[in-house]
Structure 1
């Protein structure tokens, strides 16, 4: 067995796996530093797992297979994961942003498999910009802290 055969991970690529881990780490680091669910490990595994499912589905081509069906099943399965991080406390739903982040992580895995690794990395930075940037804007504007966010803030103070 040659070194090339030993290092081969066909139908996957080391570049795509590296991109999946990088994308998950970029977003997971932001979540972990802020004490939110879905940190570096979980984020990296969601992107990597999604990439692997989509790459495998593209490799298995026969009359009965359709890679787009795997993508649909991943979206459904990841929605189930996201539902697991959402909770209701005193009538306030929490964890919705973490659930949406899980969906975005899965979309990045699909992007790596179907579109391009560099595009997925750029989109990871965009996701972090949204997660951090909107939070920063909400801190500067009282109008953005109304409604559910105001109730949640009150709940956190009484905790």
Structure 2
């Protein structure tokens, strides 16, 4: 009886990776979560629709959608279909943050939507094991979030920020 139960449990957990693979998985997901939080912080502080939690979930979700196909043996070239689906899905999520105001020129949420899209791309990059590229893209996005509005004000223009 015990051997049957043990065999059943062992077969259910046969996909548990070795320590090296588990560490690789953990690092990729942690990097995605941290980078997502960094991008979501700006949105959170500015009181936008998608903050830290949303950006973290988008980044980690995007990372795991890259990791799992690789773990089950999907060819790297076939990941492009997964990426296409992610870009479309996150575009739909971002569309929910865009609000049209009363006038034609009044649209809010575009920056938040673009930030979610970028966060997904960064999560996918981290999930593929390209952590340095993910960090560099995050730094560039943070420059856009933090420095560009200040630069616009210095130039005498009010930054349009959604």
- State TM-score, norm by structure 2: 0.77
Task: Say yes or no: does 1:128 pair with 2:142.
Answer: yes
User: Rg bigger for which structure?
Assistant: 2
Counterpart residue number, 1:155: none
1:76: which partner in 2?
A: 88
Number of aligned positions between the proteins: 143
2:68 to 41, 56, 70: 56
Runs of 4+ in 1 over 6 A off after TM superposition: none
- Look up the match of 2:57: 45
Tell me which residue corresponds to 1:104: 118
Q: TM-score, normalised by structure 1?
A: 0.78
Aligned ranges for residues 77-96 of structure 1 at < 5 Å? Answer: 77-91=89-103, 92-96=106-110
Match of 2:128 among 109, 114, 130: 114
**What CA distance in whole angstroms lies between the structure 1 residues aligned with 2:22 and 2:82?**
19
Counterparts of 2:41 and 2:80 in 1: how far apart (Å)?
30
Name the Cα RMSD after superposition: 2.7
Query: Closer, same or farther in 2 for the Cα pair 1:78/1:121, shift >3 Å?
Result: same
